[in-house]
A = this chain, B = another copy of it.
Amino acid sequence: MPHASAVRALVFDVFGTVVDWRGSIIRECRALGRRAKLAVDWAAFADAWRAGYRPAMARVRSGELPWMSIDQLHRMILDELLARFDIVGLTEAQVDHLNRVWHRLEPWPEARRGLALLKRRYLLATLSNGNMALLVNMAKRARLPWDCVLSAELFRRYKPDPETYLGAAAMLGLEPGEVMMVAAHKDDLRAAKACGLATAFVRRPRERGPRVKLDVAPEPDFDVNAKDFVDLAARMAK
């Protein structure tokens, strides 16, 4: 782990890495469905919402759409899904509240404990495509102990654009090699590594539900491969 010894700050991908977006959305939407008497396959709904995210971001990254926050992208996708899943009768306030389910995602079971351990030695920040308000509300509600909330929104670029990784390091007053990107997604880590950041892969095999088999094999290219955040803390304490 030659790279990792210089690390002073860890920056975390959030959706899927820190929080279980799929499980959280399914749970909250099922409760909504019972109250509003909606018969919807909420697992399919959650998957479709998330599936709309990358194409929507790609349209912003290509310049086809103007800069939009993730809250705005989520809402654009949600409006399509409400029609596609035949969800009718929700007021504007209810749709807006539903859109903010992304502010209320729950952390993976060991995440808070792992972060508390890592916080003793490292500066911890988010580096998510989620907008600042989303990340701040999520952290407050889920008691995620960030030293600093950073979002791609600050750079008006989305990951994996290099401006986000380099911008985060600069904003923390650190060299790229003093910052470690932590993510459950190998493409995010490869982009961070190309910018000179250290990298830690964390396995989240259930991110897409019990039926989808994800590639969670360790990669020698990354500085650390960890089972979860508590395991990462143990490896980073060496």
Nearest Cβ distance between residue A166 and chain B, in whole angstroms? 14
- Chain B residue nearest to A149 in the complex (CB): B148
Contact B149 A136 (CB under 8 A): no
1/0 contact string of A70-85 vs chain B (CB within 8 Å): 0100000000000000
Contact A171 B132 (CB under 8 A): yes
- Chain B residue nearest to A168 in the complex (CB): B132
- Chain B residue nearest to A151 in the complex (CB): B171
Chain B residues with Cβ below 8 Å from A149 are 147-149
Report whether over half of chain A's contact residues are helix, strand or loop; otherwise say mixed: helix
Chain A contributes a number of interface residues (CB within 8 A of B) equal to 20
Contact A148 B132 (CB under 8 A): yes
Chain B residues with Cβ below 8 Å from A235 are none
Contact B147 A140 (CB under 8 A): yes
Chain B residues with Cβ below 8 Å from A154 are 154
- Interface residues, chain A, with chain B CB atoms under 8 Å away: 71, 123, 125, 131-134, 136-137, 139-140, 147-149, 153-154, 171-174
New contact pairs (16) apart from A123-B136, A137-B173, CB-CB < 8 Å: A123-B137, A123-B140, A125-B136, A131-B173, A132-B148, A132-B171, A133-B172, A136-B172, A139-B147, A139-B148, A140-B147, A147-B149, A148-B149, A149-B149, A153-B171, A154-B154
